[in-house]
Structure 1
Amino acid sequence: MKALRPHLTALFFLPPFLAFANPQTAWEDACGHAKNLELPAQDRPDTKTLPMLKDCDSEALYYGIGQAADYQQAKACAYSELGKEESPFQGASILMMVYANGKGANRDYGLAIKLACAVDGAPAENEGRIGHLQQLRQQGPGTTDFDICDDITSGMMMGLCTAHNDRIEQVARTENWAALTRAWSQEEKNAFSLLEKSARQFFQARSGNEIDQSGTARTAFVIAADASLQDDLLSSLAAFEKGRLPSFTDQQFAAADAKLNAVYKKIQTDKGFSWGTVSKDGIKSTQRQWLKYRDAWVSFGKVKYPNVSAGSWKTFWTEKRTKMLEDFLQ
């Protein structure tokens, strides 16, 4: 199986480029100097090509999401999106990276700066991004490609970049799931389909009800929580397929269940409970979905791993759930 891509991390560490300019050369001045640069006519799609780009996806074409990257097509598609962007991964942003990285067109930092100035963003992001491009122009390309997510500072853009990264990760997950289940019988696949449905309901409840959404980075945290659960399900099943199956006694399940109930009760009876937007009712609702998810594992296990006891499955997933709830007591 292909390794999953790591999640975006440390998106709020401010880049060193924020101090690139003195008061006489602010990022607005850099935009002023670049605004009269002309985008190359030869790079634009002609009138015959434009209709064929109506439903193109420059993000997928540039990053190779679900397909091989095609920088020439990404460039053409991005040009067709100019002025109609609905996300920061279209139009000007994609062209900014095309010219900054010399992928699909000749490298041109001046044009990259011009396009960066057209990308809507927080002032600190604009300053960092344009400063980053100025530094690349002065020092030459780095060891990694310039990316729109390199210099973000706002919670909103953190969420958008996390969603973008998750879109890439989802392709890897799909490939891994296909490889993992390819040899399964139809009965096993049908049983797993029911487990997946229950998993999705629990994951949505967990990320929606048990993640503090009071900050501007709430979207990123919700997406990251859901992705973490998906990855845990995938890695757990991969381990089971290699023979590393849970094996617990009825006494161990009783102890794990008692611990879970104690933690849950402590949360529900805590008069001072405060966890941002997370509420006791939200945790209660999520707990109900988790119980269905745990029992779905028992049903699936009977089909796929008949030698594993129901108590073993319950113990394995109960211990994971307990760790989730214990976070609310920190």
Structure 2
Amino acid sequence: MILRYLITGGCLIGAVCAFSASAADGDWSYISATDGVCASVAQIRAPEADRLDAAHSALPEGCDSEALYYGIGLAADPIKARQCAYVEMAHEKDSQLMGYSGSHMLMTIYANGVGAKQDLPFALHLACVSSFAPAEQAGRVAHLNAIRQGESHGTFSFCDDASAGLTGGFCEAHRARIKAAEEENRVNAFASRLPASAQKQFRVLRNAQASWAKARADKEVDLSGTLRAAFVIQEQQLQRKDFGDMLARLEHPPLPRLGQTQLETANRRMGDDLALLAGKANLGGTTIDPAGIGEAQRAFLAYRKAWGDFAVVAYPHWGRSWVEAWVTMKRADMLDYLLRLSRQ
């Protein structure tokens, strides 16, 4: 599994972590230094011309400021994103002030001046009242204040200053959402080129793939630690990308030269690994256990069968065994890794 987040000095790699060195040395003055900035913007309110009477408005259909701003699955419309974010903010609770909430989207919109005229004091006000963790809030406020003072340039993002593991999960979900939309477009394009005779079986395959990706992420990813949500999302995205890559390969022969012999070999590897894993109480101190692996394995077998059934219809000159060998080899590699993990 590809781990895009690594903890280093209390920060997530890729975040704006200029404040982490002080914290590592036990100097937390950078947090109190932002108090004056927050006090200076405490009474700042949204620009009157941009406000909507949203306090008593129900969320309209399609109101998703994150999707509208970043163009996730639809054309980007920053102005509609701003209008939607005000409605979302009016309905927010404290438990919803993490990730790409209405408040955080408005912070982004006014920081960048995209969808509204740039208003850094209001963006700072939102950072002061809506950020999740104290250190993360301090980093975000310092970052926005540096933009206001002309000391920092470039596009602002809520995830620039993510330092809490929980926020890391939201940020990974945001990235995965963008990637998922791209993958969905790729799969839809592939489906549109299939003959009518293969459409039904391809829908079955897509559903089986989604179930397999979820089972793999839920049952075979370590859920200890604050970044567990990010790792689960990463694994689902990894499986989604692998599926898209396989479909792309189908349209660009030659395909892997596989058949019954390779399938039997991969089946033996898979069976041997499963037998060894069944005797493990846990895997290297992780939350992964034999029962969870068994659940994921059942989802994989359904996925493999769906691949074979699809190949018989769409690629009869190759048949079932070549594609089942292909996915079984991938599965055996996953189990090999879990077995190594169990020996640590």
TM-score range, shorter chain: 0.7 to 0.9
> In 1, are the aligned partners of 2:263 and 2:322 still within 8 Å (CA)?
yes
Farther-moved stretch of structure 1 (7-16 vs 228-237): 7-16
Partner-residue secondary structure (3-state), 1:17: coil
Residue 18 of structure 1 aligns with which residue?
A: 19
Residue 188 of structure 2 aligns with which residue?
A: 178
Counterpart AA for 1:16: C
| Corresponding position: 1:290 with 2:300 | yes
Partner-residue secondary structure (3-state), 2:153: coil
Residue 126 of structure 1 aligns with which residue?
A: 137
Residue 35 of structure 1 aligns with which residue?
A: 42
Counterpart AA for 2:167: M
CA distance in 2, matches of 1:84, 1:269: 50
Q: Deviations over 1:167-221 (max 9, x none)?
A: 2222212211221121212221111112122222222211111111122222221
Identity of aligned residues (%): 32
Ranges in structure 2 where 5+ consecutive residues have no aligned partner: 23-27
CA distance in 2, matches of 1:228, 1:300: 22
CA distance in 1, matches of 2:211, 2:239: 12
Counterpart AA for 2:76: A
Residue 44 of structure 1 aligns with which residue?
A: 51
CA distance in 2, matches of 1:75, 1:26: 30
CA distance in 2, matches of 1:289, 1:270: 21
Describe how 1:1-330 pairs up with structure 2 within 5 A: 12-13=12-13, 15-18=16-19, 22=29, 26-45=33-52, 54-55=60-61, 56-85=63-92, 86=96, 88-139=99-150, 142-143=153-154, 145-270=155-280, 273-328=283-338, 329-330=340-341
Counterpart AA for 1:175: N
Counterpart AA for 1:69: A
Ranges in structure 1 where 5+ consecutive residues have no aligned partner: 1-5
CA distance in 1, matches of 2:275, 2:171: 37
Farther-moved stretch of structure 1 (203-212 vs 238-247): 238-247
CA distance in 1, matches of 2:104, 2:81: 11
Give the drift of 1:98.
1.3
Residues 75, 194 of structure 1: alpha-carbon distance in 2 compared, 3 angstrom cutoff:
closer
Residues 199, 264 of structure 1: alpha-carbon distance in 2 compared, 3 angstrom cutoff:
same
CA distance in 2, matches of 1:23, 1:201: 46
- RMSD between superposed Cα atoms in Å: 2.7
> In 2, are the aligned partners of 1:79 and 1:95 still within 8 Å (CA)?
yes
- Name which structure has the greater RCO, CA cutoff 8 Å, separation 6+: 1
Farther-moved stretch of structure 1 (260-269 vs 124-133): 260-269
Q: Deviations over 1:100-131 (max 9, x none)?
A: 10112222322211111121311111011111
> In 2, are the aligned partners of 1:7 and 1:165 still within 8 Å (CA)?
no
Give the drift of 1:52.
8.6
CA distance in 2, matches of 1:63, 1:54: 19
CA distance in 1, matches of 2:49, 2:19: 34
* Number of aligned residue pairs: 323
Counterpart AA for 1:123: P
Give the drift of 1:232.
0.4
CA distance in 2, matches of 1:33, 1:59: 28
Give the drift of 1:92.
1.8
Counterpart AA for 2:137: N
Give the drift of 1:255.
2.2
Residues 289, 275 of structure 1: alpha-carbon distance in 2 compared, 3 angstrom cutoff:
farther
Residues 198, 23 of structure 1: alpha-carbon distance in 2 compared, 3 angstrom cutoff:
closer
